[in-house]
Amino acid sequence: MRHTLPLAPQFYVTAPQPCPYLDGRVERKLFTALQGENAEKLNNSLSQQGFRRSQNVLYRPSCAECSACLSARIDVSTFIATKSQRRAESRNNDLERRVASPWATEDQYALFRNYLDSRHADGGMADMDVFEFAAMVEETPIQSRVIEYKEKISNNLIGVSLTDVLNDGLSMVYSFYAPHEPRRSLGTYMILDHIKIAQQAKLPYVYLGYWVPGSQKMSYKAKFSGLEVYLSGSWQSMVDPKNFNYDNHPLSTDPIAEQVANISLPDTRPTS
């Protein structure tokens, strides 16, 4: 008899640890490896079901007593910039975008360290060294790009986004920028520029990662029109951020086995 390994990816759960977004909460993640010739298909399929990529892993929050973290994306066809967003775009018209393969540089790491030390000194990435940074950027089995934003005259690097190209949009995996220029609103500007790239490429969505009601760190995402969040197995338009409640009863979260059973996997059979 011939025995073959299962084609379906295997899912695992991380050990509980303190939540980085909400005080007093505990986070847990459901994850699977992203590898092999079907990595692109798997990444596309799971990204559309609320998963995010980190190097060679796809993950989604799976907390036992909370479901505050909601995957968020912008429907670029319905996006309309606000006055403040248009001002942010205008304040950065001295920048130029440069798109490159996922390759880490010393300038990127210097900016990354400056950003972390200023904004996230107590975060989970605070101790990341240059080799770990290079792994974050370069270890990708799918179509990824590094999008740099530089001042046209000085050529100073002022913003970077590690971005995945999905079949239905752009996924901003991780972004960082010069923290000493708050007037530029660089975080907002880079999202606006990704919306522009998606429109030009005729891609319908820009994936922003997770929006967390009650977390000040994530509140900026709710300011973009056309925002959708992945909730109860489907993408839903964000109408009013105040309507989302993260105080769940423990029994309201599906068991891990049910969560995995409800994940739709791509067809990886070879085409004839």
Helix (H) or strand (E) holding 195: helix 186-200
Q: Specify if 188 maps to a domain.
A: yes
- Residue 2: the pLDDT is 43
18 and 142, same domain (yes or no): no
Mean pLDDT for the chain? 89
Contacts of 148 (CB under 8 A, 6+ apart): 97, 98, 99, 100, 108, 157, 159, 160
What are the pLDDT digits (tens) for 133-160? Answer: 999 999 999 999 999 999 999 999 999 9
Q: Specify if 4 maps to a domain.
A: no
76 and 197, same domain (yes or no): yes
Averaged pLDDT for residues 36-50: 94
CA-nearest of 52, 48, 17 to 32 is 52
Residue 5 has what DSSP assignment?
-
92: tokens are 């950065």
146 and 17, same domain (yes or no): no
- Residue 125: the pLDDT is 72
Provide the total of helices (H) and of strands (E) in the chain, helices listed first: 6, 14
What is the number of structural domains in the chain? Answer: 2
Averaged pLDDT for residues 239-245: 76
94 and 186, same domain (yes or no): yes
- Residue 251: the pLDDT is 52
46 and 107, same domain (yes or no): no
Please, what is the angle between helix 130-138 and helix 106-119, to 10°?
Answer: 110
* 189 within 8 A of 92, measured Cβ to Cβ: yes
The domain of 137 spans 72-243
Q: Specify if 266 maps to a domain.
A: no
What are the pLDDT digits (tens) for 8-22? Answer: 789 999 999 988 888
Q: Specify if 6 maps to a domain.
A: no
Question: Sign of the C-alpha dihedral, residues 153, 155, 156, 162?
Answer: positive
Residue 250: pLDDT above 60? no
What are the pLDDT digits (tens) for 155-174? Answer: 999 999 999 999 999 999 99
Q: Specify if 2 maps to a domain.
A: no
97 and 135, same domain (yes or no): yes
157 and 234, same domain (yes or no): yes
Full-model pTM: 0.91
